[in-house]
Amino acid sequence: MFFNNSDLEIMIGNANRFESLIHDLILSESILCGIPLDKINWDYRTNVGDGGRDIEINVASTNESRSFMPLTKSYWSIKSGKDGLEPSTLENEVCKHPKVLDYLKSNSSYVWCVAVPVNNNYRDKLRDKADMLSQKYEFNKDLIHFMYNDTITAWINKYPGIIPKYFPSLPLRWKTINEWIKDNKFFKVPWVDISNRSTLITRIIDHFYGTFSPNILHLVGQSGIGKSRTVNEACKKEKLLESVLYFENIDCFTSGYERYITRDESIHSLVIIDDVTIEEWNKLYNRLSEYNKRIRIVTIGPLPKGRGDFYDENILLVTPPDDNDDITKVIQSYDSSISKEQSEEIAKWSDCDLRLALLLSESYKRDPGLRNKPIQNVQEIFNRILKLYKNDIGDINEFRKFYEIFSMLVDLGYKNKYRKELTYISNYFGKPETDFDRAINLAISCGLGNSKGDFFEATPRALARFVFENWTWDIIKHSVTKFIKGMPTYQMQKRFFERGQECNSKLREEVNSALAEWFREEFAEYDISLIFTREASRVFLTYTELDPENGLAWLRKSVEIAPAQILLSFDGKTDGSGGWRGRRQAVWLCEHLACFPEYFYTCESILFRLALFETENDIGNNSTVIWQGLFLPVMSWTAIPFEDRLNILLKRLSNANMDELYLVANACVKLLQDRISRMIPPKVIGGRLTPEEWRPKTYKELYDLRKDAASRIIYAVKGLRPEKQDIPTRLIIENIQVFLKNDCFDLLCGWFTLQALNEEQSRLLRKKLDEYISFLELNNDKDKNNGIHKELNDIKKWRNSLEPITLESEIKEVTSRGYWSLRNVLGDNDRSKTYQLLAENTLNNIHVLDNLWDWFKSKDAISSRFFGMKLGYLDKKHILYPIFMPKLLSELITDLIDGYIYGILEREGCIPEFITNDLDKLAPTYPKQLIIITINSDCSEHGFKRLLMGIPLAGENVSQLLFGLASNPWSSFLSDNQKNEVLRLLISLAENNDQYAYKTALELLALWNHDKKENLIEPLASAALYILKHCIDKNCIFDDHYWNKVASMLPDTFLIEKIDILTIALVNWELGLHLLQDDALESLIEVAKVRPNEVMQSLGLKINDVKYKDIFFISVFRRLFEAIGLDVVKRWIQSNGIEAGRAIARHIQSPEPTETIPDYIPPLTEWLLTEFENDDRFFREFCAGRHSFESFSGPASDRFKEIYKNVSPYLNHKLRRIREWAEYEIDRAKENMEWDKKHDAEFDRG
């Protein structure tokens, strides 16, 4: 606890202060209790009569878990003096104020708040007086509530933000909003709405008021641009946000306060935390995201480098002022006596840094004589600002020496594990650490520095940069290599390089030259492993953005000479710290620097080499994708014209070796395809403005570019040596539509002939052309200009010229197509003729099969079974049988031979005995192959026995093969006893860890009985019950549809067991089982209509079972208890008590008008709401179930009319709970309409 009972005693006798405190507690609680602020009335003037009602709350709390606010309308009497302890005072307040009595008689609460400590004797006297008054005036005695000193203290501790406002002397690690304002004088500057600030303020206010996820909103931006001021302004705009707490950094928040607010579920807290990094925010988000309803946090932090263009919805970017005009507006708002010309001069020197602009404005304000002295240089800026704090700083020249050192880095570690950075500069410059500490504290107190957790940043940002450019660089430039090499952390090195990136271009070149020595020593060898780690790679990235020539030259040479195994070890995995290892940094670096024409060619070369040895295949911005993107005509993000980039790619294609060929050819194809999106690079890279991307000016130019590129790619591929042509040729064929759309028909038609292509290429081309022809035929009727019709005729002529010319190639052509996809090309009749003609030709030329065995073994022969079926049907003398069977054994050619045997069966009506004998002999040796053949082709007693023998021998998860028994002819052939044998076999397989055995069993049971209306008979019913139970108990793999189907097929002799398993399926929400719920509910409803007592008994056991009880307070089982009936449910509830009634409150039906009864209430609903009228928990559960798990479409305003029409007859119903339910429905509908309005307004604005 932060606040004790004794602390409240300062309120005794202070009526104004105590009333205000209670009012703030009420406002804070109102969010969680569903009470709109406009329903809370308070007149802060204690000298004005209030009729015994200091505060009125005109609606009831809807949150029973929050006991501060009554669950009725309430009227509060606040007593700061000892008279609040006297029963006579209470009597006078009630009796002498008629409205208080009226409210009590209308079931409104009266809350008596006392500041003076109260012993039990006084409490008893006050309670007795309240009871006496309730009897005398006939109202419920529980409507008078007493709020004593200890209770008020407990609730104050639930809202720590209130404590410093009313008890400022207590030592706390946070500040109130007003204290935060006092500590920053520039927060008092009149607000000027610049850039996107008004939008940010609205978002911040909505976030604090909300209960939605996420509960932590993060603002990022450069220092000095008004992040903190924006958050502060949002809090100043709303009365309720006065209780927001401000923490200077994450440590202040985590050291005690975080644990305090998370351990007590009743605490509601609004928090601002400053100087939070992205990493700290992410950890905080992971820790606190579950508390979204009661803990709302806004964090403020620095802009992560290189992350200025992409944020998720939980991170808001605060942008700098748009231009100097915005700065000028702020200056004029701060001091209107500063002329426009002077304001513009300040804005020019401030470089969009609001903090620097305000400091310079303050110097003008204090010394009006400066207005006639234009700023000439940085020395004048520095002197004017330091003069403001001369009394605090003392020796300005001495302070300047420290500020110069601080300006060398974007920020400096000076606490905890980063203290070693301050120790380093202390030793390097020969000054005591304590002097640096004093200078840091002075800078922070004067606004010339920020403490960011463990780091100190010299501010204003622009001033620190000016000081580095004009003074500090001269101090360090002659020993910069030594200075950097000695730095104790890689972050310190990065921050030095980043300062160099911020400098003007002239000085940046000088810094680059001076750092070259350090770079040569640090990266003395061309060894890519030097940047494998995250730390080394990030230092390298930052340096290279500062000096691209040196950095990229080293990287290019390193990747060129690195052997394959090293490049394959160069990964971009996360290292556990939230960052990525070396490859990721290198790819990002090249992606960004490729935007600049002078670095494009080097970056392209590096990315190409990395792409050849890709290690990040699972992400969408790996080196391969980024390299390919460099050649796009749009969204390449580079300033290099497309023509120049295309020439590079085509040159790579002509020079590619076999390892490079696919990568390069694929990039050629990709540049012809439309790209939906690519990540936009930062606007500033290494201190340089990113150049504008080269793009075609019109869509026609884009089309012409692609058309030209497509033809040049074709010529380039044709010009390759024969051994290199296959890969790019296949890619062109696979993407034939892209090239045809780019006007390459004549080129391709002349090149892609049967003579020019090999068999595999020809087969692929025919397939792709058929697909394109189908596409064109679908769109032919829509073509008004007849262009598709002409294209279609041309392509069909080309396709006809490509027909296979040998029987072998014809067999491959047909069997390479899916049976159904061939139908799309040929139609049913032509497809059947095609297979038949092919089979006839094969039987006349059996030797053709000699060259096809490898083909039939391959995955490419996808319809070989259908070909085999035709062969078997036509092979009346079985001449192929002695050829096929050895192939089944030695080369496992199953599909073709399976089809062949089925074809024989189809022709002869049964399989010849000599074949079945062979299959029986082979079953123990080749069980899987023989199971497939048997199920597909040998539906007989012999075949069934073969299956029973082969299944246990066929290996892991063999049960799936038995699914073929579900359809005819097996479904009709199998007797019930044989089906039972199959089920028992599957149960045995399941017990031996076959994962799919129960799934297969349920599918078979459901499909065997698919066309039958009757239930399962024995022995199948017993087996089915066993399987259904084990599916739930063991949570194994099964299909919920088939489970419900089989459960519904159980006969009446298993009714009790059926009810039990359906009930378990209804209430068991373990992973995977919740999908059973809907069908189980419908089945139980049907059973309940005929056997209500049994269903109620089964449900009752689950309601009273701690394992299942919670589901009755989460889910909604609509219509179930109505199906059971009022009498049965009533008897059960009367036997089991109020908790049982609460368990079914969510599930009962809502009142709904009928044609004859406009205020009809279902009997069960009416009885329950009458029986438990005084139980608030029951009513809340009832309301909670009205719309749980419902979804709506269309405007809420449309639904409101219907809702109001339906519920308005109940607004004056005799039952109180029915009236309250009707009000609840209307209020909820209104809330939905308001949400719709807000959403529509946001959508319209874009």
Predicted local distance difference test score (pLDDT) of residue 1136: 93
Strand (E) positions, 661-794? 684-685, 688-689
Predicted local distance difference test score (pLDDT) of residue 1240: 45
Residue 42 has pLDDT above 60, yes or no: yes
Listed residue (893, 850, 844, 892) closest to 871, CA to CA? 844
Same domain, 770 and 896: no
Confidence band for 1195, pLDDT divided at 50, 70 and 90:
low
Listed residue (143, 159, 21) closest to 74, CA to CA? 143
Same domain, 178 and 314: yes
> Which residue did the predictor score with more confidence, 828 or 993?
993
Residue 311 has pLDDT above 50, yes or no: no
Residue 503 has pLDDT above 50, yes or no: yes
What's the domain count of the chain? 6
Confidence band for 791, pLDDT divided at 50, 70 and 90:
confident
With H, G, I as helix, E, B as strand and everything else as coil, classify residue 79: strand
Measured in degrees and rounded to the nearest 5, phi and psi for residue 597 equal -55, -35
CATH number of 450's domain: 1.10.10
How far apart, in whole angstroms, are the C-alpha atoms of residue 665 and residue 661?
Answer: 6
Predicted local distance difference test score (pLDDT) of residue 1236: 64
Measured in degrees and rounded to the nearest 5, phi and psi for residue 15 equal -60, -45
558 lies in some domain = no
Cα 88 to chain centroid, rounded = 61
Same domain, 47 and 130: yes
Counting other chains too, the contacts that 693-697 makes at CB distance below 8 Å and 24 or more residues apart are 693/595, 693/635, 693/636, 693/637, 693/638, 693/639, 694/636, 694/638, 694/639, 694/640, 694/641, 694/642, 695/633, 695/634, 696/633, 696/634, 696/642
298 lies in some domain = yes
Same domain, 831 and 796: no
Where is the domain boundary, 888, 909, 930?
909
> Which residue did the predictor score with more confidence, 229 or 313?
229
Q: Quick: pLDDT tens for 472-488.
A: 999 999 999 999 999 99
Confidence band for 1103, pLDDT divided at 50, 70 and 90:
very high
Contact 247/272 with Cβ under 8 angstroms?
A: yes
253 lies in some domain = yes
Residue 704 has pLDDT above 90, yes or no: yes
Confidence band for 1068, pLDDT divided at 50, 70 and 90:
confident
Same domain, 57 and 156: yes
The DSSP annotation for 492-534 comes to: HHHHHHHHHHHS-HHHHHHHHHHHHHHHHHHT-S--GGGG-SH
Residue 1027 has pLDDT above 70, yes or no: yes
Residues 6+ apart with CB under 8 A from 763: 804, 809, 812, 813, 816
Q: Side by side, which strands form the sheet with 455-458?
A: 412-413, 455-458, 449-452
CATH number of 213's domain: 3.40.50
Question: What value does the mean pLDDT take over residues 262-267?
Answer: 77
Question: What value does the mean pLDDT take over residues 877-905?
Answer: 86
Residue 309 has pLDDT above 50, yes or no: no
Contact 1075/1107 with Cβ under 8 angstroms?
A: no
Predicted local distance difference test score (pLDDT) of residue 1142: 93
How far apart, in whole angstroms, are the C-alpha atoms of residue 924 and residue 947?
Answer: 10
Predicted local distance difference test score (pLDDT) of residue 308: 41
Predicted local distance difference test score (pLDDT) of residue 784: 54
How far apart, in whole angstroms, are the C-alpha atoms of residue 290 and residue 261?
Answer: 13
1211 lies in some domain = no
Q: Structure tokens of 136?
A: 């005398």
Q: Structure tokens of 1203?
A: 């809702």
Residue 827 has pLDDT above 70, yes or no: no
Same domain, 71 and 151: yes
Residue 47 has pLDDT above 70, yes or no: no
Same domain, 110 and 185: no
How far apart, in whole angstroms, are the C-alpha atoms of residue 82 and residue 62?
Answer: 33
Predicted local distance difference test score (pLDDT) of residue 1241: 36
User: What is the percent of the chain with per-residue pLDDT over 90, rounded to a whole number?
Assistant: 45
Place of tokens 């391709």: 748
Contact 268/188 with Cβ under 8 angstroms?
A: no
CATH number of 60's domain: 3.40.1350
Same domain, 863 and 877: yes
The torsion of the CA quartet 1201, 1203, 1207, 1211, rounded to 10 degrees, works out to -60
Q: Which residues of 1147-1164 are buried (b: 16+ CB within 10 A; e: fewer)?
A: bbbbbeeeeeeebbbbeb
Same domain, 359 and 395: no
How far apart, in whole angstroms, are the C-alpha atoms of residue 55 and residue 1059?
Answer: 56
Q: Structure tokens of 735?
A: 């993407």
H-only helix segments in 992-1054? 997-1008, 1020-1033, 1040-1048
Residue 1237 has pLDDT above 60, yes or no: no
Predicted local distance difference test score (pLDDT) of residue 824: 53
How far apart, in whole angstroms, are the C-alpha atoms of residue 1096 and residue 325?
Answer: 75
Residue 1035 has pLDDT above 50, yes or no: yes
Place of tokens 């060619």: 601
546 lies in some domain = no
Q: Is 742 exposed, middle or buried (0-12, 13-18, 19+ CB in 10 A)?
A: buried
Show the domain range for 836: 816-909
How far apart, in whole angstroms, are the C-alpha atoms of residue 386 and residue 663?
Answer: 61
With H, G, I as helix, E, B as strand and everything else as coil, classify residue 157: helix
450 lies in some domain = yes
Listed residue (574, 593, 647, 586) closest to 614, CA to CA? 586
202 lies in some domain = yes
Q: Quick: pLDDT tens for 598-634.
A: 999 999 999 999 999 999 988 888 999 999 999 999 9
Counting other chains too, the contacts that 822-826 makes at CB distance below 8 Å and 24 or more residues apart are 822/863, 824/774, 825/770, 825/773, 825/774
How far apart, in whole angstroms, are the C-alpha atoms of residue 1135 and residue 527?
Answer: 81
Listed residue (780, 810, 812) closest to 795, CA to CA? 780
User: What is the percent of the chain with per-residue pLDDT over 70, rounded to a whole number?
Assistant: 93
Predicted local distance difference test score (pLDDT) of residue 1243: 35
Per residue, the 3-state secondary structure of 1127-1154, as one string, reads HHHHHHHHHHCHHHHHHHHCCCCCCCCC
How far apart, in whole angstroms, are the C-alpha atoms of residue 515 and residue 477?
Answer: 9
Distances (CA, A) of 135 to 85, 125, 128, 959: 21, 16, 11, 77
Counting other chains too, the contacts that 1028-1036 makes at CB distance below 8 Å and 24 or more residues apart are 1028/1002, 1028/1061, 1029/1061, 1030/990, 1030/998, 1031/998, 1031/1002, 1032/1061, 1032/1064, 1032/1065, 1032/1068, 1032/1073, 1035/1070, 1035/1071, 1035/1072, 1035/1073, 1036/990, 1036/995, 1036/998, 1036/999
Vertex 1183, ends 1180 and 1184: CA angle to 5°?
Answer: 85
Question: What value does the mean pLDDT take over residues 164-179?
Answer: 74
Q: Structure tokens of 600?
A: 């494009």
Q: Quick: pLDDT tens for 533-570.
A: 988 998 999 999 999 999 999 999 999 999 999 999 99
Question: What value does the mean pLDDT take over residues 622-650?
Answer: 95
How far apart, in whole angstroms, are the C-alpha atoms of residue 307 and residue 220?
Answer: 10
Confidence band for 307, pLDDT divided at 50, 70 and 90:
very low
Listed residue (539, 531, 542) closest to 685, CA to CA? 542
With H, G, I as helix, E, B as strand and everything else as coil, classify residue 984: helix
Residues 6+ apart with CB under 8 A from 108: 72, 73, 74, 75, 143
Same domain, 74 and 93: yes
Where is the domain boundary, 161, 194, 213?
161
Predicted local distance difference test score (pLDDT) of residue 1242: 35
222 lies in some domain = yes
Predicted local distance difference test score (pLDDT) of residue 223: 73
Q: Is 1211 exposed, middle or buried (0-12, 13-18, 19+ CB in 10 A)?
A: middle
Q: Quick: pLDDT tens for 716-770.
A: 999 999 999 999 999 999 999 999 999 999 999 999 999 999 999 999 999 999 9
Measured in degrees and rounded to the nearest 5, phi and psi for residue 689 equal -70, 130
Mean of the per-residue pLDDT values for the chain?
A: 87
Amino acid at 1107: K
Where is the domain boundary, 782, 803, 824?
803
What region does 1107 belong to: left with phi over 0, alpha with psi -120 to 50, or beta?
A: alpha
The DSSP annotation for 988-1008 comes to: HHHHTT-TTHHHHHHHHHHHH
Residue 275 has pLDDT above 90, yes or no: no
What region does 106 belong to: left with phi over 0, alpha with psi -120 to 50, or beta?
A: alpha
The DSSP annotation for 397-452 comes to: HHHHHHHHHHTTSS-EE-SGGGHHHHHHHHHHHT--HHHHHHHHHHHHHHTSEEEE
Same domain, 328 and 393: no
Distances (CA, A) of 850 to 28, 847, 1160: 87, 6, 82
Q: Quick: pLDDT tens for 398-454.
A: 999 999 999 999 999 998 888 999 999 999 999 999 999 999 999 988 888 888 768
Q: Which residues of 797-810 are buried (b: 16+ CB within 10 A; e: fewer)?
A: ebbeebebeebbbb
Residues 6+ apart with CB under 8 A from 762: 754, 802, 804, 809
Same domain, 355 and 476: no
Q: Quick: pLDDT tens for 342-383.
A: 888 888 888 878 888 888 888 887 887 777 788 888 888 888
